[in-house]
């Protein structure tokens, strides 16, 4: 499958990995939008949040747990951060493999662009 995140998961292309286990990988975004910008990605190819179902929704718990740990490790757990899932064309999703953006290290404005 021609999926850039599957290629990262299979170590076919390099990434700046900050966490990895059997189910999840997290790496630095190549085009960071904040001082801390990590992507938390399930290893199973799930195209978007709309493909979460009873068979795979456990992965969301795992991703939240990884997000909490990465927030603590990056010292943004108290100051705050943003956890973002862009979905579909209007949501600005460019990579069709589910991923959570963990953004922090600066104040995040609202509304988003």
Q: What is the closest distance, in whole angstroms, from the C-beta atom of residue 105 to ligand AMP in the complex?
A: 15
| Alpha-carbon torsion, ordered 70, 77, 108, 33, to 10 deg | -20
Identify which of residues 31 and 78 has a Cβ nearer to ligand AMP in the complex: 31
Choose from Zn ion, ligand AMP, none: what does 7 bind? Cβ within 5-8 Å by kind: none
User: Rounded to 5 degrees, what are φ and ψ at 3?
Assistant: -130, 120
Nearest to 93 by CA among 51, 59, 47: 47
**Of residues 35-94, which lie at the interface with Zn ion (CB under 5 A)?**
45
Q: Which residues are catalytic?
A: 99
Q: What is the closest distance, in whole angstroms, from the C-beta atom of residue 91 to ligand AMP in the complex?
A: 8
Is 100 a residue that touches Zn ion (CB under 5 A)?
no
Whether the link from the prior residue into 111 is cis, omega within 30° of 0, is yes
Sites of contact with Zn ion (CB under 5 A): 3, 5-6, 45, 97
């Amino acid at each position: 499958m021609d999926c850039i995140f599957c290629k990262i998961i299979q170590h076919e292309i390099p990434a700046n990995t900050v966490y990895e286990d059997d189910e999840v990988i997290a790496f630095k975004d190549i085009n960071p939008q904040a001082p801390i910008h990590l992507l938390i990605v399930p290893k199973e190819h799930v195209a978007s949040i709309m493909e979460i179902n009873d068979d795979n929704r456990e992965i969301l718990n795992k991703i939240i747990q990884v997000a909490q740990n990465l927030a603590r490790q990056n010292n943004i757990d108290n100051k705050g951060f943003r956890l973002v899932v862009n979905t579909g064309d209007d949501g600005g999703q460019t990579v069709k493999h589910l991923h959570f953006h963990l953004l922090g290290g600066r104040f995040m404005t609202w509304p988003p662009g």
